Amino acid sequence: MKTNWKSFILQEAKQPYFQKMWSFLKDEYKSKNIFPPRNKIFACFQYFDFEATKVVIVGQDPYYTKGYANGLAFAVNHNCAIPKSLINIFKEIKNEYGEVVADQTLIDWAKQGVLLLNRTLTVEENKPNSHKTIGWNIFTNNLIKFINENTKNIVFVLWGNNAKQLKSLIDQNKHKIITCAHPSPLSANYGFLGSNCFRKVNIYLHDKKIIW
């Protein structure tokens, strides 16, 4: 199998779990408000080639408020109020670097090789975690394995317990794992704010640093 995003997705699309999930999603998009828009489900892969991957940041599932989700974990579209988790992310960056360069879409990060990956890639309006059990966890677990096996020196940023479940899938002899609390207001003051996680990423990347 070729090592690129498209080949990975096409390979997964042949699997029974994915076909069942995709059939379910087709019906969901017809009858309910599902986010992000269907053409943005795989948006996190659209801004850089597989070989350019530097960092993987793992979120939970898309925002469930209409108009917010853009397919990138933690990011929101323009003209949306910035969610509290993203406010805390920007607060930590400002603490570390004195300024925040990216806007709330986080597209600037994606263009630099940051994969903003949710564990679950879709959600029903006003129902957080509503698609948690339809098959996305299989997809994202397989994706982490694919990245782990076919790259080296990637920084995996795992915030919170949900993301930390992926730790066992990553070879720490090949890659760097950075963990801390989730930026959610419920946990940000208990290990996220003050973690220096963005500086830690750039220390590992050396001359390939991300402009946060």
Residue 54, CA atoms < 13 Å, CB-side half-sphere: 20
Identified catalytic residue from 27, 49, 61, 108: 61
Cα–Cα distance measured from residue 60 to residue 119, given in angstroms and rounded to the nearest whole number: 5
Contact 56, 205 (CB under 8 A): no
Cα–Cα distance measured from residue 51 to residue 150, given in angstroms and rounded to the nearest whole number: 9
Contact 192, 182 (CB under 8 A): yes
Cis? peptide before 37, omega within 30° of 0: no
**Other Cβ atoms within 10 Å of 186 Cβ, number:** 12
DSSP 8-state symbol, 46: S
Verify whether residue 61 is a known catalytic residue. Answer: yes
193: left (phi over 0), alpha (psi -120 to 50) or beta: beta
Query: DSSP assignment of 54-101, as one string?
Result: -EEEEESS---STTT--SSTT---TTSPPPHHHHHHHHHHHHHHSS--
Q: Which residues are catalytic?
A: 61
